[in-house]
Amino acid sequence: MSGNTLGKLFCVTNFGESHGPAIGCVVDGCPPGLSLTEQDIQFELDRRRPGTSRHVTQRQEADQVEILSGVYEGKTTGTPIALLIRNVDARSKDYSAIADTFRPGHADYAYFKKYGIRDPRGGGRSSARLTAPTVAAGAIAKKWLSEHFGIKVRGYMSQLGPIQMPFKSWDHVPHNPFYSADPEVVEQLEAFMDQLRRDGDSVGARIEVVAEGLPAGWGEPIYDRLDADIAHAMMGLNAVKGVEIGAGFHSIVQRGSEHGDEITPTGFLTNHAGGVLGGISTGQPITVSLAIKPTSSIRVERRSIDRAGNPVSVQTLGRHDPCVGIRATPIAESLLAIILADHALRHRAQCGDDSDKG
Amino acid sequence: MSGNTLGKLFCVTNFGESHGPAIGCVVDGCPPGLSLTEQDIQFELDRRRPGTSRHVTQRQEADQVEILSGVYEGKTTGTPIALLIRNVDARSKDYSAIADTFRPGHADYAYFKKYGIRDPRGGGRSSARLTAPTVAAGAIAKKWLSEHFGIKVRGYMSQLGPIQMPFKSWDHVPHNPFYSADPEVVEQLEAFMDQLRRDGDSVGARIEVVAEGLPAGWGEPIYDRLDADIAHAMMGLNAVKGVEIGAGFHSIVQRGSEHGDEITPTGFLTNHAGGVLGGISTGQPITVSLAIKPTSSIRVERRSIDRAGNPVSVQTLGRHDPCVGIRATPIAESLLAIILADHALRHRAQCGDDSDKG
Amino acid sequence: MSGNTLGKLFCVTNFGESHGPAIGCVVDGCPPGLSLTEQDIQFELDRRRPGTSRHVTQRQEADQVEILSGVYEGKTTGTPIALLIRNVDARSKDYSAIADTFRPGHADYAYFKKYGIRDPRGGGRSSARLTAPTVAAGAIAKKWLSEHFGIKVRGYMSQLGPIQMPFKSWDHVPHNPFYSADPEVVEQLEAFMDQLRRDGDSVGARIEVVAEGLPAGWGEPIYDRLDADIAHAMMGLNAVKGVEIGAGFHSIVQRGSEHGDEITPTGFLTNHAGGVLGGISTGQPITVSLAIKPTSSIRVERRSIDRAGNPVSVQTLGRHDPCVGIRATPIAESLLAIILADHALRHRAQCGDDSDKG
Amino acid sequence: MSGNTLGKLFCVTNFGESHGPAIGCVVDGCPPGLSLTEQDIQFELDRRRPGTSRHVTQRQEADQVEILSGVYEGKTTGTPIALLIRNVDARSKDYSAIADTFRPGHADYAYFKKYGIRDPRGGGRSSARLTAPTVAAGAIAKKWLSEHFGIKVRGYMSQLGPIQMPFKSWDHVPHNPFYSADPEVVEQLEAFMDQLRRDGDSVGARIEVVAEGLPAGWGEPIYDRLDADIAHAMMGLNAVKGVEIGAGFHSIVQRGSEHGDEITPTGFLTNHAGGVLGGISTGQPITVSLAIKPTSSIRVERRSIDRAGNPVSVQTLGRHDPCVGIRATPIAESLLAIILADHALRHRAQCGDDSDKG
């Protein structure tokens, strides 16, 4: 019930700092009998791993996961699954200069104000590196959702700074470093990113995540609605500043006669709801859209203060993602998978195995 | 830990159905010694009450709150505060026709699929009426935040359908039925709403909520971040389809050199962060923006199915808000106040009374 | 998640003070489709009601329960069930004299130290009266356990002060005011209690609670074990000072060759485990034993202090149970039923509908 | 919120199996600024370590702890503290014979029924080995309670099988392998244990735990009372079958005039309450007593069944504690420390830094 746990029944407790000995998580509540190997998890970790293209941080981390518990002879036993990732490429010296100053837009100011003490190396606990345990846990959730319900959770980037990236096909997503569903925009993105790196600046992005195949009936009436828990998970991801479900902010200008998805005997005609009505899944695809802010660690010089309150000029060198959104797609998928697994268990608790009572 | 509780230490457990005997909530965790009367709560309830202008539902509900526990001689005692609101104007007959059909865009379909049973009268538990207990609980949170920390939580409507309503001054907000901070747009809004009612249709809206005066340091590092918990609360409100903190979706196109708020010895120069960095408050105002979808209960005829799956045509008569966003401002304020009170307590637990360690 | 909620999935949130307007609870998580009427709940409330014999408090409380939500046309809907009991016979004047002094053995001292403020009327929130909502919630849990699993939860008093009351038959329990399973000891108990009242003193008791018919497999490995959660619930009941499962304290002198229950193809040969091994149910009856301390409100004069710390002599008049243990049996049954319902749901969440995987 | 977490604000999430790669825990909620080294934790781990005398299991485990996160430059940072202990001496072959049979009195039957799958090596997750992470977490809680409040948490064994071990002095406890507070009984205990080992049998024990120096006011009114949470933690420890606070089961035969602790201006005259009234601490020492059952893994042959339900004869060889109570004292201290730390934080959340409002 402290702050570093996600989920109520499929619970992920995250630990670690960017340059400490290790990062990891404990997944408590995964059902027994699921086939699970380190390779299953490694596959997803490799998707968010740094150093995979010139457009992301060049930090070299194998992000090799070790399963410490909860799996016996290749199957989950129902007991907590602890996952460990050792930090390897932790060059503390890169960060020593900024231990006493605050980067504009960076969490170090808030951490210092909260705790009076912080691990400044590599951003410590506020580093995007701490999304790796989330991805590892999400790999388990994804596998269970897929095998138990046939649910598929996928994502792509739909905008990078000013460049719109319309959806063409899921087939393209794994074949470019941007998770673009449109191969034709890739060249333009590469040029944009190369210029951005030369500028020493960063930029924001928009990510779409979709879950298909889930039954109607998951979610809770008030407060812990399915969409509320999705919003919680997504806004809890580093750099996210906005979350939409279905029509999202566009629903402001819609009329009820347009927004409300009509139903026929063969199904819904549209999906402005994004798969959730009254906080409960309808059986339509869950569609989520995220706004990711530009990285705060940039080479451009900016005004700030030091711990004593004196004015300083801050310029962040080191190995940073110029667009954290680029590696955000697998993380957002993982978060959605964890929330869905959690609500699958919550629904099963109250309403039994038959998901759809209607 | 079931689904109808908001907050971990300042806990609000909501109960009730639109046309059942009563609605209400239990607030567990409010600190002892706070002056509290039913009038304090009634004031906020009256702000969201139906029937206050021709632009909202004409249902006549006094929404008279009774404090059942937790207050002795005008002060909170630290024990649970139970709040009761009797349902008075529950005209069940208006709803009998729709018990077996599903309104497009309405929760009744999802409830039926989840539980196999539902109270159809007035939308049952999915009715916007269930936001009244949230407002009552929020009144307590607001009062404690105000008296203990000097925090002010306020909101206004910034867009109604296509009409933008720019912020002019807080002074205007209480003096029009739309919570508009610009008095000049009110006439246009009234005309728009009158036409909408004649059309039998509904429309969406955008609400802004702001909290000023909170200290730096509230929030948790990963998952239960302050912004994540705000997003959870807001997306858990009926009809909300999108949530933004600070620059929100606009941060997609920002560069890091623009987005990151520079700091000087006298404070931050901008507030693109919306008062939260790394999930922890910075001491700047918390700024939240919500997208509210159009009401699903409209007179316009639409295609749907009945419980047996047969095609039907649905037209919803009865007394409905043509724009639920109009009454959403005090509710959104309440949600923000509850989350802030919760994080105030969580911060005090871990870091002690001195909020700002820096 | 604040302190006044019992259960994680079958959640009971208790509110109220002895002499406030009302007491009650919200039951969140009860499965949908359970037949439930106010009479079902009233039956259990009447079992713990004051004034039913000369051996308990003469306070006259109808303890009439009202279901405020969560039930539609006689069936639970899956939404929170709020239960309300108005306080009727609240003679505040009886208690005014003791508002400033602390009764030895009574909670008023600790409440004052914690909150700096308390409702002194009738013991306020620390009154045994607050067990009524627990019993009301327990009635729902009992009904669900009985109908869904065929589980029977029953209790009896096995000792009152120095008088042992050995188990003879469940049939006797409802037919005497002491919940004795042996009718022959009742005369002796009545004489003992009459003398105790004349002495103006009070005495302790031992209660046994048994649940039969539950499947193997309910419980969690570490920390939230089934026996741990039972102990939590029982020790959380007013006046309880000790809890045993199975052989309890007798297991100290047992050898492993005696204590470990042998198993044959037709079942266990003994039940020293009390139905729980490794925190998980074995399918044998759950057996729990409670020690209940003597009431602290007695006529015998005792030394204490007032709020200013001055020495005073305290004698408590008013209408008090000389043995709170007498009315404890239905309460202890209710607590056990709530914990079992909670673990039934928790087990179903993780392992699915089939309780027994073996 | 799944089953393997202890505490609501000072949260310990336990993971691991006896013969898996590692065991450990994540401590989330520890306040920042506490000095903490691996040596602080190792000291407590060494107290429960196997192989320290001939009366406990001869398994050789260094139980070397590694702090993976949450500590920077020797101080806690307020972020989760992950603790890792590698399993070293895991002789799986000793256990292979019993993978398909159930030991009378052992958790393996219940685990199999719950999950349908289990790690049988060394008892898997039900092994007493999993108390090591609890002790490691307890070391942190103890240190914080000691430094922040001056609270001392200590325990001793007061009975081993039929041998009573009355309290003489805390000074003796560390100087014998039984945690006896009376040095004169040690010779008798050694002879008893030597005979027990020759018999191939096991025996129960009673442990006392005491916390001194805590302020009045910690605890919650109903359900999550301080004594209830202590009972939960203690009954959640392997092999515990009974828990008492203060006078415990003896309070059954006490009269109110004897049990209720009288108060004078200089303090309480007795402590039958065990430091808790109405679920809230009084400032007196917290006194807890535990019944620990005899180990189920014994050489004496016993009747049982195999997974197919056929009758078998079971005899457990391997390296087992003939009295798990011998190593239970530091574990029980740890559990009490964790619960007190949790309630210290909970109290601070609701009532602020000043613990005593009276």
Question: What pLDDT digit, counting tens, does each position of C314-328 carry?
Answer: 988 877 788 999 999
- pLDDT-derived band at C90 (thresholds 50, 70, 90) equals low
B247:A293 CB<8 A: yes
Chains that touch B (3 or more CB pairs under 8 A): A, C, D
ipTM attached to this prediction: 0.96
With a CB cutoff of 8 Å and minimum separation 6, the contacts of D310 are: C265
Q: How confident is the model over D245-255, as pLDDT tens digits?
A: 999 999 999 99
State what percent of residues in chain C have pLDDT above 70. 96
Residue in B277, B293, B358 nearest the CB of A259: B293
A80:D4 CB<8 A: yes
Distances (CA, A) of B105 to A258, B132, B299: 10, 22, 13
Angle at which helices A226-235 and B226-235 cross, to 10°? 160
pLDDT at D204 over 70: yes
A11:D26 CB<8 A: no
- pLDDT-derived band at D52 (thresholds 50, 70, 90) equals confident
Mutate to test the interface with A, among C79, C81, C348 (most CBs of A within 10 A): C348
Total beta-carbon pairs less than 8 A apart between chain B and chain D = 46
Chains that touch A (3 or more CB pairs under 8 A): B, C, D
D347:C114 CB<8 A: yes
pLDDT of residue A59: 73
Chain C: closest CA distance from residue B233 (Å):
16
Residue in C78, C350, C352 nearest the CB of A29: C350
Distance CA(C84)–CA(D5), nearest Å, equals 33
pLDDT at C355 over 60: no
Q: A304 is written with which tokens?
A: 């700030």
Nearest to B253 by CA among C339, C58, A158: A158
Cβ neighbours of A125 in D, within 8 Å:
69, 77, 79
Alpha helices by DSSP H, listed for B178-327, are: 186-199, 226-235, 256-259
Between the CA atoms of C352, C357, D5 and D7, what dihedral angle is there, to the nearest 10 degrees?
Answer: 80
Cβ neighbours of A84 in D, within 8 Å:
22, 68, 84
pLDDT of residue B351: 93
| Chain C: residue whose CA lies nearest to A148 | C352
- pLDDT-derived band at A240 (thresholds 50, 70, 90) equals very high
Name which residue leads in pLDDT, D314 or D341.
D341
State what percent of residues in chain A have pLDDT above 90. 81
pLDDT at C61 over 90: no
Q: How confident is the model over B263-288, as pLDDT tens digits?
A: 999 999 999 999 999 999 999 999 99
| Chain C: residue whose CA lies nearest to D112 | C358
A79:C221 CB<8 A: yes
> Among A68-77, A180-189, B107-116, where is mean pLDDT lowest?
B107-116
A2:D9 CB<8 A: yes
Cβ neighbours of D305 in C, within 8 Å:
263-265
Q: How confident is the model over A19-50, as pLDDT tens digits?
A: 999 999 999 999 999 999 999 999 999 998 87
pLDDT of residue B98: 67
pLDDT at A93 over 70: no
D4:C223 CB<8 A: yes
Distance CA(D348)–CA(D358), nearest Å, equals 15
Cβ neighbours of B260 in A, within 8 Å:
103-106, 294, 296, 298, 302
How many CB atoms within 10 Å of residue A155? 25
pLDDT of residue A95: 60
Chain C: closest CA distance from residue D118 (Å):
11
Find which of A292-306, B319-333, D332-346 is predicted with most confidence, using mean pLDDT: D332-346
C238:D278 CB<8 A: yes
pLDDT at D132 over 80: yes
pLDDT of residue C53: 82
Mean pLDDT, residues B217-243? 96
Name which residue leads in pLDDT, A314 or A290.
A290
Burial bucket for residue B166 (CB in 10 Å: 0-12, 13-18, 19+):
exposed
| Average pLDDT across chain D, whole number | 93
With a CB cutoff of 8 Å and minimum separation 6, the contacts of B218 are: A114, B226, B280, B281, B340, B343, B344, B346, B347, B355
pLDDT at C2 over 90: no
D351:B9 CB<8 A: no
Name which residue leads in pLDDT, B55 or A165.
A165
Q: D214 is written with which tokens?
A: 């805590």
Mutate to test the interface with B, among C4, C69, C134, C348 (most CBs of B within 10 A): C69
Name which residue leads in pLDDT, C189 or C123.
C189
Mean pLDDT, residues C265-276? 96
pLDDT of residue C170: 98
Distance CA(C43)–CA(A246), nearest Å, equals 48
Name which residue leads in pLDDT, B261 or B94.
B261
Cβ neighbours of C203 in D, within 8 Å:
253-256
- pLDDT-derived band at C60 (thresholds 50, 70, 90) equals confident
- pLDDT-derived band at B357 (thresholds 50, 70, 90) equals low
Chain C: closest CA distance from residue D300 (Å):
7
Chain A: closest CA distance from residue C103 (Å):
36
Burial bucket for residue B52 (CB in 10 Å: 0-12, 13-18, 19+):
middle
Nearest to B12 by CA among B342, B238, B350: B342
Total beta-carbon pairs less than 8 A apart between chain C and chain D = 409
State what percent of residues in chain D have pLDDT above 70. 96
pLDDT of residue D189: 96
Chains that touch C (3 or more CB pairs under 8 A): A, B, D
With a CB cutoff of 8 Å and minimum separation 6, the contacts of B354 are: none
How many CB atoms within 10 Å of residue A186? 16
pLDDT at A11 over 70: yes
Distance CA(D268)–CA(D280), nearest Å, equals 15
pLDDT of residue B132: 96
Cβ–Cβ under 8 Å, residues C161 and C173? no
Distances (CA, A) of A95 to A296, A305, A331, B219, D104: 14, 17, 25, 25, 58
With a CB cutoff of 8 Å and minimum separation 6, the contacts of D194 are: none
C223:D3 CB<8 A: yes
Distance CA(B235)–CA(B289), nearest Å, equals 11
Q: Which amino acid, one-letter code, is at B88?
A: V
Write down the pTM of the prediction.
0.97
pLDDT at D271 over 90: yes
Find which of A91-105, B315-329, C135-149 is predicted with most confidence, using mean pLDDT: C135-149
Residue in A1, A352, A357 nearest the CB of C348: A352
The end-to-end CA distance of chain A, in Å, is 34
Chain C: closest CA distance from residue B8 (Å):
5
> Among A135-149, B166-180, B309-323, where is mean pLDDT lowest?
B309-323
C350:A1 CB<8 A: no
Residue in B78, B350, B353 nearest the CB of D350: B78
A13:D1 CB<8 A: no
Q: In 3-state terms, what secondary structure has residue C156?
A: strand
Alpha helices by DSSP H, listed for B27-183, are: 38-48, 108-115, 131-149
CA A351, D1, A45 angle in degrees (round to 5)? Answer: 100
Mean pLDDT, residues D291-306? 93
pLDDT at D312 over 90: yes
Cβ–Cβ under 8 Å, residues B264 and A213? no
| Chain B: residue whose CA lies nearest to A246 | B241
B33:C115 CB<8 A: yes
C82:B22 CB<8 A: yes
B349:D29 CB<8 A: yes
- pLDDT-derived band at D49 (thresholds 50, 70, 90) equals confident
pLDDT at B206 over 80: yes
pLDDT of residue A92: 58
Cβ–Cβ under 8 Å, residues D339 and D212? no
pLDDT of residue C275: 98
How many CB atoms within 10 Å of residue A192? 18
Q: How confident is the model over D100-127, as pLDDT tens digits?
A: 888 898 998 999 999 998 888 888 999 9
D352:B31 CB<8 A: yes
**CA A109 centroid distance within chain:** 23
A349:C345 CB<8 A: yes
Cβ neighbours of A26 in D, within 8 Å:
4, 13, 15, 26
Q: How confident is the model over A243-261, as pLDDT tens digits?
A: 999 999 999 999 999 999 9
pLDDT of residue A356: 62
Domains delineated in chain D: 5-351 (3.60.150.10)
Cβ neighbours of B318 in A, within 8 Å:
none
| Chain C: residue whose CA lies nearest to A70 | C221
D220:C279 CB<8 A: no
Find which of C85-99, D62-76, D316-330 is predicted with most confidence, using mean pLDDT: D62-76
Cβ neighbours of D220 in A, within 8 Å:
none
- pLDDT-derived band at C356 (thresholds 50, 70, 90) equals low
pLDDT of residue D340: 98
Chain D: closest CA distance from residue C315 (Å):
11
Nearest to A215 by CA among A144, A272, A151: A151
Q: For D205, phi and psi rounded to 5 degrees?
A: -160, 165
B82:C22 CB<8 A: yes
pLDDT at B259 over 80: yes
A349:C349 CB<8 A: yes
Name which residue leads in pLDDT, C310 or A59.
C310
Mean pLDDT, residues D191-200? 94
